[in-house]
Chains A and B, each alone.
Chain A
Amino acid sequence: MENSPIPAQQANTTCTACTSAIVLDDNFCNSCGYPVKGTEEEKDNFMANRISKQIDLNTHAESMKKAGYSLYWIAGSFLLFGFIMFAVNQEAEDAVFTLILNIVLSAVFALLGVWSRNKPLTAFIVALTLYGLITILNAIVEPASLLRGIIVKIVVVTWLIKGMKAAMDAEKLSRELN
């Protein structure tokens, strides 16, 4: 009987839809609006609508999870690329700096992945901006790098954009449901 505005001692029963405490005098649940004294058809319609929203919410959660995983993939690829570049160009003057930069960027994307569980929209906006900036800067230094792994880049960007939309939809649906 969580989140119920009715004190437990006044509650006579629980809501079928959201399990919040309700008093017998009420026609509607104070928490979710379930028509306690409505007709069977009204109750069925309410439940169908609620279940449909919950299914949508689960779909959005799945999209956000995918976008979150893409951040871990980016983090992993930066780490791997950093060590490969270091192994290949150990003699280069900026080899250590490049390695440290890749490790830092990898850590940033991993942290964004973790943060996306709490604040998905902000984490995806920051991640997409940072990923786009790194891609552009790499392309300025070496234009051919833009085409390297282009399919992976498109997939990552698509997942992040879908993640953003899903985060917006999920926020709205969560507010409506509870």
Chain B
Amino acid sequence: MAVVNGSRYCGTCGHRQIVDDIPETSYRFLQLKQVGLFFGLHLIICCLAEFVDYFDTLKWMAVFDIILATINISFVALNWSTVKHYLKWPDFSIQKLSLYVGIAMLISLFTHYTITWINETIFDKHVYYYYAFADLKYGKALMLLSMAVVPALSEELGFRAYLINGLLKIVDVKQAIIISSFLFSIIHLSFLSLYWLLPFSMFIAYIFLKEKTMWYGVCFHFAFNLTACLFEIIDVVPL
């Protein structure tokens, strides 16, 4: 029998016409707990790195980077069946890549100047991460590795590839973007940086879901951090 368009039930046999796409609450809550564990582990590591003086060295920073990367890889492995599709790059486009990299550099430029202005006018200080690497043999290269390459790969794997896919099992697309961006922003433990971190992470989350691959996001994130690092090096190292 033909069913009237838009009907939820067949008028003749009473069969439900709409597929119930909302999973059971127990399953969604289990996924939420897994997301909570992921975020909790990140929070512990970030708080230790940020607030415990003993860990305020480059060696410990490297150790924490490795731990965070291991956590991200572990959660990706746990959810491999859903995440694996986003690790491919099927529709590579150089135009798109150039566009995203260009946008990232422009945002980084804006962020650099606004952060410098805030630090100078409100806190009357300059913050340069480069000083931590300045005395090392390959200081500049190590700075780019630890502040541009590693975060772009590790954070995109954790906060986009795993987290957004995890959240999509609990909420819809828009909410997944909002929650993942919020979690990514506050894990940086910088209240003032929220003004750029939130739109930054929302844009990467949008790219991730639109392009169905994490690699445009990785390049965007890398270009953003690389620009920020280069600005610091130009500011600190006399030409």
Contact = CB atoms under 8 A, between A and B. Distances in A.
A29 B51 contact: no
A25 B11 CA distance: 8
A30 B9 contact: yes
B25 A30 contact: no
A165 to B, nearest CB: 6
Nearest to B44: A136
B175 interface: yes
B90 interface: no
B212 interface: no
9 A-B pairs closest in CB distance = A26-B11, A28-B14, A30-B7, A5-B6, A33-B9, A168-B25, A122-B175, A5-B7, A5-B4
Interface residues of A, number: 34
B138 interface: no
Interface string B1-34: 0011111111111101000101011001100100
A28 B11 contact: yes
B22 A172 contact: yes
Interface in B143-179: 170-171, 175, 178-179
B43 interface: yes
A122 B28 CA distance: 13
Contact of B16 (A23, A33, A119, A136): A33
13 contacts: A5-B5, A27-B14, A30-B8, A33-B16, A35-B14, A121-B170, A122-B171, A122-B179, A126-B182, A130-B186, A133-B186, A164-B29, A172-B22
A101 interface: yes
Contact of B25 (A35, A169, A175): A169
Contacts of B29: 164-165, 168
Contacts of B39: 129
Contacts of A29: 9, 11
A31 interface: yes
Given A5-B6, A25-B11, A35-B14, A125 B32 contact: yes
Interface in A18-54: 22-23, 25-33, 35
Main secondary structure of the interface of A (DSSP, over half): helix
B102 to A, nearest CB: 31
B183 interface: yes
A140 B32 contact: no
Nearest to B50: A140
A137 B14 CA distance: 56
Contacts of A103: none
Contacts of B189: 137
A107 interface: no
Interface in B189-216: 189, 191
B47 interface: yes
Nearest to B35: A125
A171 B6 CA distance: 20
A139 to B, nearest CB: 10
